[in-house]
Structure 1
Amino acid sequence: MTTAISGLALTLPAERLHADDLGKVIVGGAILCALTGCIKQSRQTGSQRRMTPPRGNPTVRADQQALNYFGYDAGGADGVTGKRTRSAISRYQGYMGYPVTGQLDTYQRQTLVGAYNWAQSGGNATYPGIQGQELLRAYASHSRGGNYCQETGRCMGGGYPAPNNYGGPPGYPGGNGLPPQTGYGATGTMPAPAYPQPMPPLNAAPLPTQVMTTGGALAGFELPDSSGNRSITDHCQTVKMVSSANGGPVRSPASIVNPTQALDEQFCSASTYAVSSTERMLSGAQVTDEQLTQNCGQVVDFMAAETDALGTRPAADLLATAQQKIRQAAPDGNTQVLVQTGEVCLGYGYRTDEADVVLAASMLLVGAGARPYAELLGHHLRDGLGVQADAERARKWYETAFSSLDDGAAPVFLPSQSAQRVEIMRAALAGGAPAPVLTGASSAGAAPAPSALPSFNIGN
């Protein structure tokens, strides 16, 4: 193991790897194989070396199935978001008149997957002659109580389905006005798209001004706890929408109204930056998502003992253990390849919404000496994303990151805004207990990425 790692490290330049060098390292997987013992395994089994099975996000897989059904080629429904999937999403967004971002927000996903479930259950049979992509528009009209045939006159034979407010042909909603495939009826999983509420009468009393937060329980409701399998991207989508409703994210400690929201905004800006960094690092490298999945899966295995103990062992103990593991893997002290690998897998984990990959990559980076990444372990422990929520343990990881920056460590997220970010996080952590968290609000339910977070320059 030592010989393999040392030999590879000696061939790498001191500066950051170029994209083609990185591609060779990731594709070959030699450094990760050395770490996880697959070199030894390959000697034992020859060409029959076991490969880590691809990991896929079920929400992304549902997106891909729906995109393919409506004619937007997303490739195989493997649950991994690649360039082909993002291109298909962009074409769908353009057709429906949405902002073309290549990433689905909650409403766009509800429409896409809701239309797919509706068509699969036979709801499209009431619109003769309407096929393919146009079914998306028919469903959008149908779900808000409209009648696409009457609105467009495009249905063959002039037959119009009955109004869909109270019953109607198969596939139409019942008295609650929601299709049965949305999760409010007998089958399906996706909620129906939400539409703006009617405006109050002009003579109505003005509504009180209210600052929204991602926390705050609703009296009378007890929602199921899904903390063990929550989506990071849906969580950040909720954070983004709340920030927008509040007039923008927190820009200074003095403007903090709710500590939970302030910390969530910094978490989501960091995860977005990590994704962008990974995309830049891999630009031009011929690395497929399947190869990244396999190699980052090896990082998960390598750091499993430490990430599994995040909720039970002190941060200082885990930090020492991770450092010892890295020293054993790279006895010459050259951890550059490990840091590079951790950075790639970190952004990939956030892009594919896999918390286990993110936690393992963060732990690898911290153990390799890049302590500012400990901020992410604090965020995940505080929000309970991929690990049981524990505010006190989270605070220790935050302190590890802040102390390293105070000692002169290079910022790893939004470098030009690093001092401002740390001030906001420190103030939020000192602002008392975070507001009560509504299960599924500050911890939204299942996948897609933020777009209205603080701007940054990847070149910084």
Structure 2
Amino acid sequence: MFSKRLTAAALAASVAAMPASRVAADAGDFIAGALIGGVVGHAVTKNNQKKKQRVYRSGIPSTQQGRQIQSSLNYFGFNAGTVDGQLGRQSRNAISSYQAYMGYPATGQLSAFEQDLLVTSYNRAQAGGYQTTQLVAANPEGTRGLLKTYRAELAGQVVPQAQAPVVVAAPQPAPVTQSVVATAPAAAPVATAAPTLNAALPNFFESGAPEASLASHCNTVSLLTSTNGYTTAASMTDPTAALNEQFCLARTYAIARSEELISQVNGFTPQQVAAQCDGFGPVVQPYVNSLSQKPRDVVAQEVSGFVASTGTTPQQLSGTAKICLGVGYRTDNTNVALGSALILYALGETVYGELMGHHLALGFGTQKNVAAAGTWYEAALAATDAGADAVFVPGQPERTDLLRKASLQLTGGAPAQAGVLPVFSVTE
């Protein structure tokens, strides 16, 4: 996507606001019209302006939760119609079909567990990439069959089709090796045959242990909360468990917000947007790497310098970062997610500091550093106390008390005072 000759500044411009008319010869290494920053930000701005003029006549309220449910139902083949967040008759019929397929009472009203299974299965399928494609191909019920597969896995049951390719492929090299050994009078042919066998066996651990999957982690957390319910400030006994729950909730909200913004972008498919966000990862890698090594204020100042160098408006960069934040979580690319959260923080939206706190406290996408996590949690809580709008689970004001209690117990004391960051006026 990007030429090796592009400098970091040129890469930064890929997330900067730039109308299509400005894509000229000096940016010839880019595909014309594929710069996400300006296109996305401009499209979101125009769409939000148009939305103010719309008159919704439906008496059914539109909710973010409704959009999540509709998107999930449509993905698994239960036709909920347009994703508008309004759970009307068609959506209720789709819910009944989903319930009947899964063996639940077809009431048209989702229980907490049924909804959680549906939405988390959708997020898992979206993040699964090629593995999801394999599961769908191996399942006689296609995409819809993923629901039962995921439910079985969460319940600890063995899923046979996931192991089938390994059983078929493993024995194949053996006859070749035996044939060479049988016909070779000397030891040299045996030595020649060995690399062929080794080459046929993939080694998944050449670079050490693979990074933990946040998507898989949140699937496990979701199963526990579906069984036991969410932790409250009054019932909390394990701060790490409470923060796990809230991290995964925040991740789900970030994905949903990203999908909402992507749906407002004309001329780009979700796959093209995801590819652009993936290319954005190397640009923010240095700042993500410094999270566990440098104080919060130093990291924030460095990211603020990067933001200023892009030459874009805060509003446009904020729209892009919110899109890439959800894309990063959906594709399990924590580098992209963390980089996007850092940009939002540097833009003055310090409530997103909660995400850096979660990543540092739990060790996803960065080295675990509980002490550093405390300062990011504090900055986010201070913003909420000052009246900033909640971006995650806005309908639960008691969540602030839970985050404060859990983060303080985890860090063992009060974090340091927040530093001064440049604040931009950001509107959507």
Residue in 2 aligned with 1:114? 163
Cα distance change, pair 341–243 in 1 and its aligned pair in 2 (3 A): same
Moved more, 304-313 or 319-328: 319-328
Higher relative contact order, structure no. (Cα contacts within 8 Å, ≥ 6 residues apart): 1
The SS at the match of 2:163 is: helix
Provide the C-alpha distance between the structure 2 equivalents of 1:234 and 1:388, rounded to a whole number of angstroms: 19
Provide the C-alpha distance between the structure 1 equivalents of 2:289 and 2:23, rounded to a whole number of angstroms: 24
Residue in 2 aligned with 1:273? 253
1:303 equivalent to 2:284? Answer: yes
Deviation at 1:395, TM superposition (A): 0.7
Residue in 1 aligned with 2:119? none
Cα distance change, pair 301–407 in 1 and its aligned pair in 2 (3 A): same
Cα distance change, pair 327–285 in 1 and its aligned pair in 2 (3 A): closer
Residue in 1 aligned with 2:221? 239
Provide the C-alpha distance between the structure 2 equivalents of 1:92 and 1:432, rounded to a whole number of angstroms: 37
The SS at the match of 1:422 is: helix
Provide the C-alpha distance between the structure 2 equivalents of 1:39 and 1:314, rounded to a whole number of angstroms: 41
Percent identity over paired residues: 27
Provide the C-alpha distance between the structure 2 equivalents of 1:341 and 1:71, rounded to a whole number of angstroms: 39
1:429 equivalent to 2:407? Answer: yes
Within 5 Å, which residues of 2 pair with 1:208-247?
226=209, 229-245=211-227, 247=228
1:62 equivalent to 2:131? Answer: yes
Cα distance change, pair 120–361 in 1 and its aligned pair in 2 (3 A): same
- Which residue of 299, 320, 326 corresponds with 1:318? 299
Letter paired with 2:327: Y
Within 5 Å, which residues of 2 pair with 1:126-275?
226=209, 229-245=211-227, 247-251=228-232, 253-275=233-255
Cα distance change, pair 361–319 in 1 and its aligned pair in 2 (3 A): same
Cα distance change, pair 336–43 in 1 and its aligned pair in 2 (3 A): same
Q: CA RMSD in A?
A: 4.0
Moved more, 321-330 or 361-370: 321-330
Cα distance change, pair 121–370 in 1 and its aligned pair in 2 (3 A): same
Structure 1's consecutive aligned runs of 4 or more residues displaced over 6 angstroms after TM superposition are 38-42, 187-190
Letter paired with 1:257: T
Letter paired with 1:297: D
Provide the C-alpha distance between the structure 2 equivalents of 1:379 and 1:33, rounded to a whole number of angstroms: 25
Deviation at 1:394, TM superposition (A): 0.7
Letter paired with 2:334: A
Provide the C-alpha distance between the structure 2 equivalents of 1:40 and 1:311, rounded to a whole number of angstroms: 38
Aligned residue pairs, count = 280
Deviation track 1:253-301 (CA, whole Å, cap 9, x = no partner) reads 1100111101111111110111111222223645334312332134323
Deviation track 1:343-395 (CA, whole Å, cap 9, x = no partner) reads 11111111111111111111111111111011001100111101110000111
Deviation track 1:19-58 (CA, whole Å, cap 9, x = no partner) reads xxxxxxxxxx99635479x999963573676999xxxx99
Letter paired with 1:321: E
Q: In 2, are the aligned partners of 1:323 and 1:368 still within 8 Å (CA)?
A: yes
1:405 equivalent to 2:387? Answer: no
1:46 equivalent to 2:100? Answer: no
Residue in 2 aligned with 1:329? 310
Deviation track 1:121-178 (CA, whole Å, cap 9, x = no partner) reads 589xxxxxxxxxxxxxxxxxxxxxxxxxxxxxxxxxxxxxxxxxxxxxxxxxxxxxxx
The SS at the match of 2:383 is: helix
Deviation at 1:304, TM superposition (A): 2.5
The TM-score with structure 1 as length reference comes to 0.52
Deviation at 1:230, TM superposition (A): 0.7
Cα distance change, pair 330–34 in 1 and its aligned pair in 2 (3 A): closer
Deviation at 1:412, TM superposition (A): 1.1
Provide the C-alpha distance between the structure 1 equivalents of 2:130 and 2:158, rounded to a whole number of angstroms: 12
Provide the C-alpha distance between the structure 2 equivalents of 1:367 and 1:61, rounded to a whole number of angstroms: 35
Deviation at 1:91, TM superposition (A): 3.9
Q: Which structure dedicates a bigger proportion of its chain to helix?
A: 2
Provide the C-alpha distance between the structure 2 equivalents of 1:268 and 1:355, rounded to a whole number of angstroms: 13
Residue in 1 aligned with 2:143? 89
Cα distance change, pair 413–64 in 1 and its aligned pair in 2 (3 A): same
The SS at the match of 1:398 is: helix
Cα distance change, pair 264–119 in 1 and its aligned pair in 2 (3 A): same
Q: In 2, are the aligned partners of 1:372 and 1:401 still within 8 Å (CA)?
A: yes
Letter paired with 1:93: L
Unaligned 5+ segments in structure 1 are: 1-28, 73-87, 124-186, 191-224, 435-460
Cα distance change, pair 294–49 in 1 and its aligned pair in 2 (3 A): same
Provide the C-alpha distance between the structure 2 equivalents of 1:389 and 1:249, rounded to a whole number of angstroms: 24
Cα distance change, pair 58–339 in 1 and its aligned pair in 2 (3 A): closer
Letter paired with 1:313: K
Deviation track 1:80-131 (CA, whole Å, cap 9, x = no partner) reads xxxxxxxx5324436x6x769xxx85858954422443455589xxxxxxxx
Provide the C-alpha distance between the structure 2 equivalents of 1:91 and 1:420, rounded to a whole number of angstroms: 37
